[in-house]
């Protein structure tokens, strides 16, 4: 079954992966999570896989931040974003930018 991926979200995630040299695995997990989140019906296996990805995100700050951004994009796509959620995601975007900046500094220190 082919799932259409939102080009804007894919582009942002691809940019993060290539520009910041985010591991391909983190990028792939974010894309997989988004595909699962957009399913009209989710199987038990799909729900378990989403749970596994969320567990991985508990150990990986960048993955966690990316998944929050994916959640935001899914809510927008499904027209389910109310004022409380907008405020929450604005705060989380700030955390994502901090995490990206931290990754960027780490990359430059390694070179």
Q: Residue ranges of the domains in the chain?
A: 7-110
Q: With 90 as the cut, is the pLDDT of residue 32 above it?
A: yes
More confident: 4 or 44: 44
Ranking 4-8, 26-30, 36-40 by mean pLDDT, the lowest is 4-8
The whole-chain average pLDDT of the chain stands at: 73
Judge whether 85 and 68 are in contact, CB under 8 Å: no
> What is residue 29's predicted lDDT score, i.e. its pLDDT?
92
Q: Which of 106, 85, 97 is nearest to 12 (CA)?
A: 97
Judge whether 9 and 73 are in contact, CB under 8 Å: yes
Confidence grade of residue 74 (pLDDT, cut at 50, 70, 90) = confident
Q: With 90 as the cut, is the pLDDT of residue 56 above it?
A: yes
Report pTM: 0.60
| Helix (H) or strand (E) segment spanning residue 5 | none
% the chain with pLDDT above 70: 50
């Amino acid at each position: 079954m082919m799932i259409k991926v939102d080009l804007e979200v894919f582009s942002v995630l691809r940019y993060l992966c290539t520009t910041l040299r985010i591991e391909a695995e983190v990028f792939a997990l974010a894309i997989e999570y988004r595909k699962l989140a957009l399913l009209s019906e989710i199987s038990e296996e799909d729900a378990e896989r989403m749970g596994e990805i969320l567990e991985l995100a508990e150990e990986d700050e960048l993955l966690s931040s990316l998944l929050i951004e994916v959640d935001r994009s899914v809510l927008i796509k499904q027209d389910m974003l109310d004022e409380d959620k907008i405020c929450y995601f604005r705060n989380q975007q700030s955390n994502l930018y901090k995490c990206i900046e931290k990754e960027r500094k780490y990359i430059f220190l390694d070179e």
